[in-house]
Amino acid sequence: MILDDLDKKALDQFRGFVVKKDLVGIIKGGANVPAFVLEYLLANTCSTEDDDKLHEGMENVKTILRNHYVNPEESTLIQSKLRDKGSFKIIDKISVDLDPQRDRYWANISNSNIKKANINDDLVKNHEKLLLGGIWAIIEMEYDPIITIGSIVYPFVVKDIKPIQLSSFDNSKITEKRNLFSKEEWKTLLLRSAGYEPNSEGFDERKLNLLLCRLIPLVEANFNMVELGPRSSGKSYIYKEITPYAILISGGQGSVAQLFVNNTSGRVGAVGLWDAICFDESTDKLFKDRDAIPLMKDYMESGSFSRAKGGEITGSASIILNGNINQPVETVLQTSHLFSPLSDEVNFDTAFLDRINLFLPGWEITKFSPQNFTSHFGFSTDFFSEILKSQRKTTYYDAIDKYFVLGSHIKQRDSKSIRKIVSGFIKLIHPNGEFTKDDIREYLVLAMEMRRRVKEQLKRIGGMEFWDTNFSFIDKETQEELFVGLPEERGTSLIESNPLPPGVCYTATSDGDNLALVKIEVVALKGNGKVNITGTSSHEVKENIKNTYNYLRANEKSILNEQHSLSNFDINIQISNLMGAVINGGIGSAVYVAIISSLYKKNLKPALAVLGNVSIGGAIEKSYNFADKVTLLSDNGAKTVLVPIDNLSEIGSLPTLILGKTDVPFYTNSQMLLQKSVLGE
C-alpha cells in the first residue's frame, strides 16, 4: 500500500472516520450495495495503514456482508433462514406503504423480496423516510406464522431498524482539524472522499471546481441546480452513493404526494424530509402529476408551498435536475438554448428556469476512466455526509460584502444565487470559517459564471426581460470592475462577448482583396510619454497609430483631464492579427478608443469593434470595403460595429442576416465615438 503525505495526515487526524476508497470496489464486486453502506462497515476496521490489519478488516466486512447483506438472488434463502431461526439480522433497503383500507403500515424489504411485513407504527414515526423511497439499514427481522388477517398469513415482522448512518456527530471536530490542513490538502481530501482522484490525468483545477459544485446542494439548504452532460460522467453518483440524506427520483416519477404532501394523510413529502432530491433523466420527464409543476415553482422560489387544506408548508431540500446532452454545446447554441434538452414540461418555462441557482456545465466533465477514481484515503461516506449536513445550519450569505460590490446588472434573484454558491464553497473548503479576499474572489467568479449561464439561456428564450447579463463585481479597495463571462458563449468567436477590458478593442482591415481581423490591446503605465508599438512591422499601421496619438496629445486639454495627461504615461500598444491577411491601415479609431479606455480604466461595450480612422487633425475618415469588414466582424462575434458617418450610404449593402445579429451605429466625430464605445456611457 503506497500512501502519500495527505493519507498519513488524514489517518492521524481522523482515524476511524477515513477509509481507503478503492476497498469499496474490491469488496463490492457484483453486489448492488451503495458505497455508504460498505464504508459504514469499513471505517471502523480498515482505518489503518497496516496491511495485515487492513486485510483482517476487509475479511471481517466480507463476513458481515456474506452473512447479513442480501443479494436479490438470495431472497428465497434469506426468507428460509428467517423461518428456520425465528429471527435474523439483515442489511437491506426497507420502505413502508400505508394501507388506508386496513389503517396500517406494511414494510417492504427490497432485496429480500419481502412484501407486506408487519411493522410497528412507532418505528415508522421515528423513521419517516421509510415512506419516501426507503432507507438502507441493519434490520432485525422476526418470523411469526401466527399473524394472520382473515385467512392470509403475514409472518414477517420488522422488530427494529438501525439506519446505516452515524448516530451522532460533533461538528467542532471538523472546525478544529481543518486548521491543520492547507486549502489544497482539504480540497483534495474532500474530492477523494467523494471518490475522485484530483491528481489523476484528465483533471485540472477547473474540472475539480466543477466537481465540488455537485456538493453545494448538500451544504446549502433550498439550493436549485441543473447539470447536463454526457453519460458516465457521474452526474447522479453523489446523490445516490455518498449520502443517506439524498434521494434519487427516476424521470417522471415525482408525484405531488411523494414530493410535497399527501392530501389524505397530511404527511409532508420528500421536500420536508431529505436534504437533496435529485431528478435523474430530467431530459425525459420530471413529474407524474402536472399540478406538481406550480408547486415546485413555489417551493424552488421560497422553500415553501401552499395546499388548500394544510396552509403553508416548508422544506429545506435542494433540487437537482440531471440529464444527458447528446449534441455538442456549440450546435445547441446555434439553434436553441442550453435548457432545451430538459423535459418539455419546463424547458421553455422561464418562471421555472429562473429559479435555478446554478447551471453546471457537465459537458466539460469528461467520462471517467478508472484512473480518475481514487485509491487513497478519504472520509467514510457516513462521516462525510454528516460533515456536509452539519454545514447546512450555517451561512456565509454576506461574505462577499466585506471585499466586493456586485455590479449593476445583477438583480435580486441573481444576487441570491451568487451568494448561495459562494456560501457553499466556503462551507465546503473553509468549514472553520477562515478565508481570504482571494478565496472569495475565486468563488465569486465561479458563482457568477454558474448563475450567468442560467440568465443567458433565459435571454435566448424570453428576450429583453432578461437582457441584463453583463455580470461584474467591483473591488472595494481598488474600485476595479471585473466582468465574468461564459466559456461556451464565446464558442468559436474570436471577439469576446463580455464587456471588453480597458484598452482592448477590435477592428478589421482590407487591402481591397484580403481582409484581416485585428485585436488592439493598449496598456497605459506610469511614465514620461513614450509610445511602444509591437505586433506589426507595417509602416501604414504605425503611421495610423502615431497620427491618432499625436491628435490626442495636441488636444488632450479638451479630451483628457490633467490627471490622465499623456506626458505622465507610457503607452504600450500591441497589434494582433487574429485572422486573415496582413494587417493594413484604417485602425486609428479603434486605437483612439483603446488608448482612452486604458488611461481611464474604463470597460468598453461587449463584443465591440470599431471601423474608421482618425487623422492627425481629428477628422474621421471613411472605412473602405465597409460591408466585407462588418460581415467579417459579425461572423466572428461582434455585437456592435461602430462605423464612420461617411459609410451611411452603404448600409443597404449589408446582408439582412448581419443586421439581425449585429448593431451598426454611426459616429461623426471622436467625441461621439467615445460616447458610443464606453460601457455605461
**pLDDT tens digits, 224-278:** 999 999 888 888 888 988 888 899 887 667 788 888 887 777 778 888 889 999 9
Q: Is residue 551 pLDDT above 70, yes or no? A: yes
Closest C-alpha among 627, 633, 677 to residue 656: 627
Least confident of 108-112, 142-146, 384-388, 576-580: 576-580
pLDDT for position 61: 83
Q: What is the mean pLDDT of the segment spanning 106-114? A: 94
* Longest distance between any two alpha carbons in the chain, whole Å: 107
**Residue 615 forms part of a structural domain:** yes
pLDDT for position 156: 97
Tell whether 529 and 598 lie within a shared domain. yes
Tell whether 608 and 521 lie within a shared domain. yes
**Residue 28 forms part of a structural domain:** no
Return the CATH number at 203: 3.40.50.300
Tell whether 283 and 344 lie within a shared domain. yes
User: Which one of 487, 510, 533 terminates a domain?
Assistant: 487
Q: Is residue 282 pLDDT above 80, yes or no? A: yes
How many Å apart are CA 425 and CA 443, to the nearest integer?
Answer: 7
pLDDT for position 285: 82
The torsion of the CA quartet 108, 111, 113, 119, rounded to 10 degrees, works out to: -30
What percent of the chain has pLDDT above 90?
A: 56
Q: Is residue 148 pLDDT above 90, yes or no? A: yes
CB of 538 closer than 8 Å to CB of 583: yes
Tell whether 459 and 524 lie within a shared domain. no
User: Which one of 449, 471, 487 terminates a domain?
Assistant: 487
Tell whether 263 and 365 lie within a shared domain. yes
How many Å apart are CA 619 and CA 647, to the nearest integer?
Answer: 14
pLDDT for position 8: 93
pLDDT band at 681 (very low <50, low <70, confident <90, very high): low
Its domain, for residue 352, covers 170-372
The 10s digit of each residue's pLDDT in 487-520 is 886 555 788 888 999 999 999 999 887 888 999 9
pLDDT for position 347: 86
Tell whether 353 and 209 lie within a shared domain. yes
pLDDT for position 309: 61
Write phi, then psi, for 583 (nearest 5 degrees): -70, 135
**Residue 56 forms part of a structural domain:** no
The 10s digit of each residue's pLDDT in 61-76 is 888 888 888 888 889 9
User: Which one of 460, 487, 514 terminates a domain?
Assistant: 487
Tell whether 478 and 541 lie within a shared domain. no
pLDDT for position 166: 63
Return the CATH number at 515: 3.30.230.10
Q: Is residue 1 pLDDT above 60, yes or no? A: no
Q: What is the mean pLDDT of the segment spanning 579-606? A: 92
CB of 453 closer than 8 Å to CB of 359: yes
Q: What is the mean pLDDT of the segment spanning 374-401? A: 92
The CB-side HSE value for 633 (13 A sphere, CA atoms) comes to 30
What percent of the chain has pLDDT above 70?
A: 96
**Residue 9 forms part of a structural domain:** no
Q: Is residue 434 pLDDT above 70, yes or no? A: yes
Residues 6+ away with beta carbon under 8 Å from 145: 153, 155
C-alpha cell at 630: 462588418
Tell whether 154 and 184 lie within a shared domain. no
- The mean pLDDT of the chain is 89
Q: What is the mean pLDDT of the segment spanning 414-429? A: 98
Closest C-alpha among 360, 349, 279 to residue 319: 279
Tell whether 277 and 200 lie within a shared domain. yes
The 10s digit of each residue's pLDDT in 285-318 is 888 888 888 889 999 999 888 765 657 888 899 9
Residue position matching grid coordinates 466572428? 636
pLDDT band at 463 (very low <50, low <70, confident <90, very high): low
Write phi, then psi, for 663 (nearest 5 degrees): -80, 135
C-alpha cell at 165: 448512518
Tell whether 315 and 430 lie within a shared domain. no
Q: What is the mean pLDDT of the segment spanning 459-485? A: 82
Tell whether 343 and 406 lie within a shared domain. no
Q: What is the mean pLDDT of the segment spanning 621-640? A: 91
**Residue 573 forms part of a structural domain:** yes
CB of 292 closer than 8 Å to CB of 256: yes
How many Å apart are CA 451 and CA 417, to the nearest integer?
Answer: 7
Q: What is the mean pLDDT of the segment spanning 92-112? A: 93
Neighbours of 660 (CB within 10 A): 8
**Residue 159 forms part of a structural domain:** yes
Least confident of 5-9, 23-27, 182-186: 23-27
CB of 83 closer than 8 Å to CB of 72: no
Tell whether 102 and 159 lie within a shared domain. yes
The vertex-412 CA angle with 411 and 413, nearest 5°, equals: 95
Q: What is the mean pLDDT of the segment spanning 585-599? A: 95
Q: Give the chain's domain count.
A: 4
**Residue 382 forms part of a structural domain:** no
**Residue 157 forms part of a structural domain:** yes
How many Å apart are CA 609 and CA 614, to the nearest integer?
Answer: 15
C-alpha cell at 404: 466586493
Closest C-alpha among 651, 573, 572 to residue 611: 651
Q: Do you know the residue count of the chain?
A: 681
